[in-house]
Structure 1
Amino acid sequence: MALNSTPYLPRVQLLLSQKRHALAATELRRQLGEDPHDFVAHALLAVCLLEQEQLAEAQAEAELAIHLAPEYDFAFYALALIEDRQHHPKQALAAINEALALDPNDADYYHLLGQLRLQSGQWQAALQAAETGLSLDAEHADLHGLHARALARQGRTQEAGTAARSALGYGADSSITQAQAGWVALETNRPAEAQAHFREALRLDPTSDFAREGLVEALKARFWVYRTFMRFTYWSASLSDGARRGMFIGLFVLSRFMRPLLIPYLALVYMSWFSDSIFSSLLRFNADGRLALSPEQTRHSNQFLALLGVGVAALITYATALPLPAVQSAGYVSLGLLFPLVGTWRLRHSPNHARSYYAGVVLAVMGVAAIGLDIVGLGELANWAFSAFLIGSIGYVWVFALS
């Protein structure tokens, strides 16, 4: 990216390199007070605000920079970073492609393009972006890390290891590079090595969500069941949405005609829904795991364990001590509500998050209504309400399973 030569830029760039984003933002606002049409200052302010998680303001600054200078490639790059942080992959991809159309020789742009391709399961496209970027800057540590991850996702384990070592050779003191090496180790079935890299990444940058999320995954990967399922999810992520739906529907149809397939199919379905929540909850019993889980993950685990505990306790009570319809309904409703709870958590960065949440609220209302009607002795109405809850739960799974 080419920045125009103005007196404030060296100080701002120094502050950005030192991650003093608030001070850099103050300097840029001072400049914009003198020249509100300085598109470079607007674009850099967008980056500062992004790093301070002021995403709406950051997006407004990036869009203003683009409005003032539609030919300024860095403004599109800043916008792509902001859209990516907000989990808007299509918008981020459009912005980074615009930046590359204006300047196809910036290695940082190819790094972001490759990251977006990797997130969408396009391993080969991610690999191509990394290789193109490395042809422009052979010492770009983050591109070496991206290259390694793209190779790992394609099952090219030995090449991925070599690429990860190259990345560490150029940026061993970088939190991002250490975290990339951790993900490569994790994706090539070396969870213990992955933990070491993620811990080093967090030592270098204790605020890195990228490294913290990796450490959580590495800790969960100590369980062979989770590790096996994780490899399946990496493979299935490379399929199109239609192919994934077709695979699950095909397995369901086959299980109806080939009874031995029913148990593996049900295991796959339940792991698809609950593996993350189950193993995150298991980490609550591990000192490293408790520290690695984010407050949001801990809160979700509390909700998951509460519903699971109520459901299991109610069904045991019904079977052993209190055989009342309301107790049985409470058990089944609690366990059934695990689906929208976990489904909404899985879709927390998706446009379908709100729809999933409200669908869960409707199911909860139907379930509570069934329990209440059982308590007051209106058994027939309770059966209708419970049937509606059951049908709604099955419908929820089919609608939101692959969203």
Structure 2
Amino acid sequence: MSTAFPHPQIMRGLQLKQLGRFADAVTAFKEALAQEPNDAFALHQLAGCQWRIAEARREALQTIDQAIAIEPNGAEHHVLRAFILCALDRPKEALLSTQMALSLDPNDSYAHTAEAQAYLQMENWPLAERSAREALALDADNSGAANQLAQALRLQNKLAENAAHLAGMLARDPEDAFTHANAGWAALQRGEHRAAEVHFREALRLDPDFDYAREGLLSSFRARSPLYRGYLKYCFAMARLNRGARWAVILGFYFGSRVAHYLPGGYIIVALYFLFVLWVWVARPVGNAMLLADRFARFALRPAEKIEAAAVSSCLAIGITGFILNLALNWDSAMLAGVGGVAIAFPLSLVFTNQSVLGRWIFGGISGVTFVATILGVIADAISLASAPLFVGLSLGACVACAACTWLGNIRALYKRG
């Protein structure tokens, strides 16, 4: 893939791309392609810039497909296509592109890097490790593969090997934001949230828009709470399992609680199970709510995260207040309000930062219906309407739908955290 006499706009596009001005580079490459629409080099560079712009990634896929149609034997085109597909959360298709690239050039380090990225997204940590090591065997300076190896090692709980690997990476390049972010996550997994905070701050100093580090910094802030540290340990433990094993654990907890219900004192186990499920789903927004009180930490939260934190925490506050009033006054309407408030917190935690449009509609709809049904049920019960049992039944039925969200939230097509 070469251009003997590059168009002036191609040269300008390359300069802008190197400066990280991807939108301007897109314009330059498009101007060059207006003169020579079959220039595979320009198409490849254009796709590479579009890939770096989130809202242009679908267009990037179309652009690289045009380049492949012109130069089907260009391994570098298939590698870029694989990275674009990974960015579009289509890792299985990305693997097919990496296989095509490797069939054309088995010694392409970046083809193995793209393969490792696809395996990471598919949560196949051993194969991701293998691909990253193959990439590094071909190019020891491949920082992308080195960071992928760090992730794969951490996610397999190979913490000692991960620490040694990261130490070597930081010694070679202490200005790599990705390496500092990986070091931060590794520190979090070891329970060292203060050390993690230092690494995440450094990663964001080097790259202020690095969301992987921003989320890590927020997690390190939340980890100041012992309860949240427990939640993190649970998340890290679940992350080491493949998707099938995670479902087995979830089902095991559920059926275990059902069996415990029939044992002497089993109601305590059942209650603990429901508290555990509640905490798993609301820990993140509740943790963010606590960060709103921190003068520095709240600036790291996005608007959607702030809204989510306020909404979920408010529902939980209403729920807890309802339970307390019921205990103090034996007021059934307060109990209904308490159950509804806690129940609505489940789907609300899956709305505001959810990247799945379908999921947002489903969970948002369940939240809205339950909110209205609970208000009607509380009012009908409080004023002793003849139709109160109907409204109360509708409210409790909606609460059951909220509980079902704890299962639906495990379906990737419905919940993709943003």
User: With structure 1 as the length reference, what TM-score do the two structures score?
Assistant: 0.87
**CA spacing shift, 1:299–1:319, aligned 2, 3 Å:** same
**CA spacing shift, 1:21–1:225, aligned 2, 3 Å:** same
For 1:7, the equivalent position in structure 2 comes to: 6
The answer to whether the aligner puts 1:384 opposite 2:381 as a matched pair is no
| Cα offset, 1:28, TM superposition | 0.6
- Distance in 1 (CA, whole Å) between partners of 2:227 and 2:297 is 17
Which segment is superposed worse, 293-302 or 219-228?
219-228
The 8 Å contact of residues 120 and 237 in structure 1, kept in 2 or not, is answered as no
For 1:334, the equivalent position in structure 2 comes to: 341
For 1:23, the equivalent position in structure 2 comes to: 24
**CA spacing shift, 1:375–1:80, aligned 2, 3 Å:** farther
Aligned length: 401
Aligned-residue sequence identity (percent) comes to 26
- Distance in 2 (CA, whole Å) between partners of 1:111 and 1:186 is 25
| Cα offset, 1:233, TM superposition | 2.0
The 8 Å contact of residues 145 and 181 in structure 1, kept in 2 or not, is answered as no
Which segment is superposed worse, 110-119 or 258-267?
258-267
| Cα offset, 1:319, TM superposition | 5.2
- Distance in 2 (CA, whole Å) between partners of 1:363 and 1:65 is 51
Paired AA for residue 391 in structure 1: V
Deviation per CA, 1:271-326, whole angstroms, max 9, x where unpaired? 3212212212222222332122222212211221232233334444555579473x
- Distance in 1 (CA, whole Å) between partners of 2:20 and 2:185 is 24
The 8 Å contact of residues 77 and 96 in structure 1, kept in 2 or not, is answered as yes
Paired AA for residue 186 in structure 1: L
Secondary structure of the 1:285 match is: coil
1:109 pairs, out of 100, 108, 111, with 111
The answer to whether the aligner puts 1:296 opposite 2:304 as a matched pair is yes
- Distance in 1 (CA, whole Å) between partners of 2:348 and 2:163 is 38
**CA spacing shift, 1:202–1:41, aligned 2, 3 Å:** same
The 8 Å contact of residues 130 and 144 in structure 1, kept in 2 or not, is answered as yes
- Distance in 2 (CA, whole Å) between partners of 1:265 and 1:251 is 8
For 1:78, the equivalent position in structure 2 comes to: 80
The 8 Å contact of residues 153 and 187 in structure 1, kept in 2 or not, is answered as no
For 1:219, the equivalent position in structure 2 comes to: 221
The 8 Å contact of residues 82 and 97 in structure 2, kept in 1 or not, is answered as yes
**CA spacing shift, 1:153–1:397, aligned 2, 3 Å:** closer
For 2:50, the equivalent position in structure 1 comes to: 49
Q: CA RMSD in A?
A: 3.0
| Cα offset, 1:268, TM superposition | 3.2
- 1:241-280 equivalences in 2 (<5 Å): 241-255=243-257, 256-257=259-260, 259=266, 261-262=269-270, 264-280=272-288
| Cα offset, 1:10, TM superposition | 5.1
Q: Gaps (5+ residues) in structure 2?
A: 413-418
The answer to whether the aligner puts 1:188 opposite 2:195 as a matched pair is no
The 8 Å contact of residues 112 and 132 in structure 2, kept in 1 or not, is answered as yes
Runs of 4+ in 1 over 6 A off after TM superposition: none
The 8 Å contact of residues 343 and 356 in structure 1, kept in 2 or not, is answered as yes
Q: Gaps (5+ residues) in structure 1?
A: none
